[in-house]
Amino acid sequence: MIFNLNNGKCLTVGKKTLIMAILNITPDSFSDGGKFNEIDAAKRRVEELIAAGADIIDIGAESTRPNFTPITAEEEISRLEPILKAIVKECPLPVSVDTYKSKTAEAAINLGADIINDIHGLQYEDEPLAMARVAARFNTPVIAMHNNKADSVIDDIKRYFRQTLKIADEVGLNRENIIFDPGIGFCKTQEQNLEILRHLEELKTIDGMKYPLLLGVSRKSVIGYAIGLDVNERDEATGAICVIGITKGVNIFRVHNVEMIAKMCKMADALVNCCDNGGSSNGR
């Protein structure tokens, strides 16, 4: 599946596993807060991520770690604007912006961002339909993450994804512009996180249609829960999850340690023969 982005870039999903590199320009993210929120540091970091094997740069200006303190759209935009202005024109890779606020998303797209990464899956309660309308107006791909309490976790995630698709249909957002993310660590117990990781393949298909699947598990607490590692010791375990995820149909991994994970995924692709179409009709 090929996403033709608004600024002439494109993103091909399904030909190989894609690596989304995390660039937090926040003072308080759980792993790298405060490291890259200055323009020069952010530009250097993007160059490093590209050299390390990134396929997408995902920029976040508001931490969504557990118990995070929300910021206004205006503050979020003020953090994003100088970084996007400095990076987008020179960056050969698609740039996504990690935000659940429609005002921020619209500003970011106007500044050259290519993809919206929405942790509320187009369902943010304070802005019903607003994010979907922005994505539809600009024909922008959306990563729609599950972010809701679940009992029967796989079934509940699929119900949530169906609601995202219903919202997309309501505002005229093409379903082929949607990438799903099961939301590891968001409104879930650690046992539910593990259950999702064991059953990722069940989330690829919604009502007979296949969609690209993104997984964000890099350095998350589920790893500490499972094998007792501190946050800065979790890269190898992250890689293990990614390799298994490839065998279960995951198309994109959002990670901190790009170089390590990119090498692991490249080898896994060679073994799994990752040549299927990751889009909404067939394949991975």
Q: Which residues of 171-210 are buried (b: 16+ CB within 10 A; e: fewer)?
A: bebeebbbbbbbbbbbebebebbbebbeebeebbebeeeb
Instruction: Name the pairing type of β-strands 95-98 and 115-118.
Output: parallel
Report the distance separating Cα 219 and Cα 281, nearest Å. Answer: 32
- Can you count the helices (H) and strands (E) in the chain? 9, 12
Q: Which residues of 242-258 are buried (b: 16+ CB within 10 A; e: fewer)?
A: bbebbebbbbbbbbbbb
Give the DSSP H/E element, type plus range, for residue 12: strand 10-12
* Marked catalytic residue, from 101, 158, 254, 284: 254
* Marked catalytic residue, from 45, 158, 204, 220: 220
- Identify whether 254 is a catalytic site residue: yes
How many angstroms separate the Cα of 139 from the Cα of each of 106, 118, 132? 12, 15, 10
Specify whether the CB–CB gap between 242 and 277 falls below 8 A: no
**Token code pair at residue 68:** 């995070």
User: Which residue, 54, 70, 169, is CA-closest to 119?
Assistant: 70
- Identify whether 158 is a catalytic site residue: no
Q: Give the residue numbers marked as catalytic.
A: 220, 254
